[in-house]
Chains A and B, each alone.
Chain A
């Protein structure tokens, strides 16, 4: 199936866009053809989002040309882009949680048509039509806030199609989906291709992107690195072009320090409705992976250990001493640190300095008896974290906003480490993180483990688990059903066991 001879729907030619003095896009071109999926890849901050914003009319380029179906566009506005059939499905879906599925699907086309009145009945009929065409099953009257992530995404796709989309841009569509749901999404993508829709697929999950795409465009630091056919690329060459260097993603682990008493010992931990009879140990210097489907109870186990929602029964021992964890204060006292989902991308005060951010979570350690901060000890900790994490910044005084994605994520980790945790629990540490920064985070985790910390990584990214974990626990329906160790830790074993 070669559709490359078909006339392109959109041609972006030599686009340049600067913010202040920074070149976000420098001479970038891209061609979208009907029925093709175009993979747009690059590290965080490489200019992908800027390019999407230009295609969707949210931003205007400084120079360069945009052709839509052969016609040169003057000034493209958001509404103009929608009317031309360009739809963006944002990572957060941009749905209205308080409105029904039917309303969400039809409301943007109503806005585009400049309608004055709204008929719930007609909206339901229009929405149902699209849902049927795609062969989906969605409850039209359900409020979007009550839907699962994958249903929300399908709602967003249907909404794009109601507007008669010729181009659909999907920004990180698979980040929040499970394996089965990703497969389902790809079926829908196939049906969209058959309708002659051109798709842009933005993803950090390179295998998936290659599997679903026909064309590839790679950006790095706003530069257009390469464009070509997806079949001419593989994971390695893609990674090479994206990062501009050789990236090591292979398994690299060091044996933990085996002591009589493990660092953390969990026995028969149970919380009704979430998980039951969970037992495991973590030794010093060990990285333990916990994986399972969304809703399997993996997050709940971590939250119980951190005291967010404590377990009903079971025992937790740290260094052989039983501890009671009923609250976050309890867990912090015994030295457990927790990084919630998405925090690597969200948990920072962007306009505050690197130093202020590093110290933000551990201010209590630097109080004198009157409650004032001891500036010497604050400065020492900041300096220690700054060097230990090898943060690349002119100084600890620059705002976090000015850092690259990978360095900002080090600051988040530094914030946690400044509390000197003995056990560090990370929930989805590299969700939405590009391939280069991911490698750096994983090597940072290895360093901390080598310094004697016990680390628990909760993730559904199997390659990442394989890369750093000594052992991997599989959680299904709130129970630990399997434990992989040594040479058994492989991507295929993990994926088979989680979905079994």
Chain B
């Protein structure tokens, strides 16, 4: 009997992988079960002429935010019962909870401009619970502009996602920072998480790379080519310009904030060879963490604990990904082959996403794709397959999405996808856009 089981054990270990799909989905919180959510267009509550445009922006934004969240099965509008729904008395429960809509939850409300003020009322209802359906009831007021309508839609969507997503904040109000060359020089730009509202932040006029926003969203650290070489520069989002930060000498690259915002890790060659250093967020107390021969670059803190760091080292030849404690001890190698760069740690602390050329060598190197690795077990899953060079992946704050840069469209652009590799969408189109960084909330 025992012998039989020992023989069976290796067999069981080889069993193929619907399992892995479970693992990646459960680990990233996707695809397990999706709540069927119906979101009819909000109704106009006033007679103002501005309502048409405001409603269009609001409804489109709300729908996209909820659809993008990765946790809802959006009920197609073609199944909705007729008749607008603007407030609780309009809700006919049976019509919504029965087929064809078969909705579990219903989000509805009304919107109206009155003079220069916009008022929005929104509800989230449990469509199966006639006696006490209300989960959320909210009212918002702002200026009667499309930007405000968009912002309110983001807020309302995030409320719904927070309640139905089990306490994880939605990303509809989050921002993405990236490098764009469309003005002629590589500068740091910003945009909404869905690609709207792309605008330049810096005007250094040189080559600026590797933007990283601080956890509280107030500052962006980046690396720029100054007259003395590559330096870490600091842009203040609050005052809209560069603020002072020390120069360290040598080539200083790839800044990374600790999750509590008190420290900045980066790569510096001030001592000759590029190594990983840590400094206080004010720029003082510089400490060196690594002392490997070969380039050490691209540090990434453990976002959950701040107690560890991943980084890229060329100490063994081609760059590989390593982890170490936040004080530099206990380096561990994670990748064994190929060319692995650009690690980013997931918000739940469990995964690294990175860019990997698994088959690398003279002649034509293989494809460069985005991979996720479970740090504890070193199991990895490949997320992109569609060609082009895919690099600089970064997690959304809810851990359900990943942004990255890809050259598959012919030029380098920012793309987004769910953390299981599905739903890949292009966010930028003009010029060359690289190195995206997602805000922390």
Chains A and B are bound partners:
no
Chain A residues with a Cβ under 8 A of chain B? none
